[in-house]
Every structure is written in C-alpha cells, then in structure tokens.
Amino acid sequence: MVLTKNELLRMVDHSLLKPHLSFEEIKSGCEFARNMNCISVCVNPGHVLLAKEILEGSNTAVGTVVGFPSGAHTTYTKAKEAEEAYRLGAVELDMVINISYLKSKKYDLVKRDIEEVVNASPGIVKVIFENHYLTKEEIVTACKLSLEAGAHFVKTSTGFAVTGATIEDIALMRKTVGDKAGVKAAGGINTLEQAIKLIEAGANRIGTSKTREIIEQF
C-alpha cells in the first residue's frame, strides 16, 4: 500500500490520554496535531475546552473519551458524559463498552449502553471493545451490537490494557462490519510499519500517541 504522509495523518487520531499529562503538555500535543494536520486529537474530557481553543478553525477535530478506560461506568453516566462532551466541543467520542455485560452475555444491556451514547451526542461514536479481554466470538458479537446501536466505528483497544491492536483482530472486525462502520486500530501502535499493516488489514483510523515517531519513519 502506498500512502502519502498526509493521507496517513488524515487517518490518525493523535492520542493524549495519559491521566497525568499537564495542561502545558496537552496544549503542545494539540498544537503538534494541528500542525501535522491529523484528523483529530483524542483528549480526556477534562481537556476538551483547552483542545477546542487550540484547534478552533483547523482541520483537526476535537475528540474525547466516554466511560474510559474501564467501560465499567453505568449507562446513565456514559450518556451524561457524552452529552457534556459534545456541548463542550468534542465531535468525536470514543466510548468503552461494558465488558462485564458482554462477558455475562447481557447483550441488551451492551447495546443499550452504546445506543444511549449515540443518542446523547450528534458526534461520531467509536466503540472500544478492549479486545485483550475478549474471545474472537465476543469481538464479533460486539461488532454486531455496535452496528445495531448505530455506532460509527468499532475500535480495538483503549491503550491501557496489556495488549492492543492486532492484525488478526482488525481483519475480523472489518470482515464483520463490512462497509457499515469504520474500524479504528489503537493500543501499542509505535511504528509506521505497524500502522500500514493495520490499514492494509482493514483499519481506516489509527489511534496513537506516537504520531511524531511514526511520521519520522517516512
């Protein structure tokens, strides 16, 4: 696959999610993403206002996370968080499913959890599964429930579990959602080679905090 630097950057959600990053670090990370022309940044909810200020008028969208990184919050809390995030200026929301509900085969609850976030915000909703904890069958189920709930993307990982995006999982997720949703690879993506392989396997978004390192490898 031949991709230009800019084509790749238009698939990169530049991730700034470590909870100990200071306002200064978030600011410079957002400036970097804007200068690089990344498609979006992904910041924690407490940094949405700051990111909006820096990215206003640029081609880099403000993204944030919902129920992150455990997914173990209630549906009510996730919906409130999504509603506020959009109100503050985030137009892309990466939410984590309730992994316990999925493991317990409470599929209606998993679906409703996603639906309420989709309904709470007009933004793009990406549904993080945290594949590290899931069987292949559970990944397929989570893809189907995400589609039924009206989500726009399915996403492999938070970046906070032991493992992240794999080629195999991306291929499975793309096969399951077809062209009905986007597929975002995230978690442990540190090199250009990895990013390209994940895109070849079916990803059309890459979440990484290593954007600088990846671009330097061009």
Residue from 20, 122, 179, 218 in contact with a copy of itself (CB under 8 A): 20
Catalytic residue check, 108: no
Are 171 and 199 spatial neighbours (Cβ–Cβ below 8 Å)? no
For the bound state, the minimum distance from the C-beta of residue 24 to a copy of itself, rounded and expressed in Å, comes to 7
Q: Which long-range contacts (CB under 8 A, 24 or more apart) does 190-194 make?
A: 190/214, 191/217, 192/8, 192/217, 192/218, 193/217
- Identify which of residues 88 and 215 has a Cβ nearer to a copy of itself in the complex: 88
**Segment contacting a copy of itself by CB under 8 A, of 2-10, 73-81, 147-155, 185-193:** 73-81
- Tokens representing 171 are 């291929």
Distances, alpha carbon 2 to alpha carbons 39, 62, 199, 218, in Å? 19, 28, 11, 11
Catalytic residue check, 103: no
User: Quick one: which of 7, 89, 109 has its CA closest to 49?
Assistant: 89
Binding mask 147-186 for a copy of itself (x = CB under 8 A): -------------x--------------------------
Residue from 5, 103, 136, 175 in contact with a copy of itself (CB under 8 A): 103
Lookup result for tokens 């880099």: 60
Binding site for a copy of itself (CB under 8 A): 17, 19-24, 26, 44-48, 68-77, 80-81, 84, 88, 98-101, 103-104, 106, 130, 133, 160
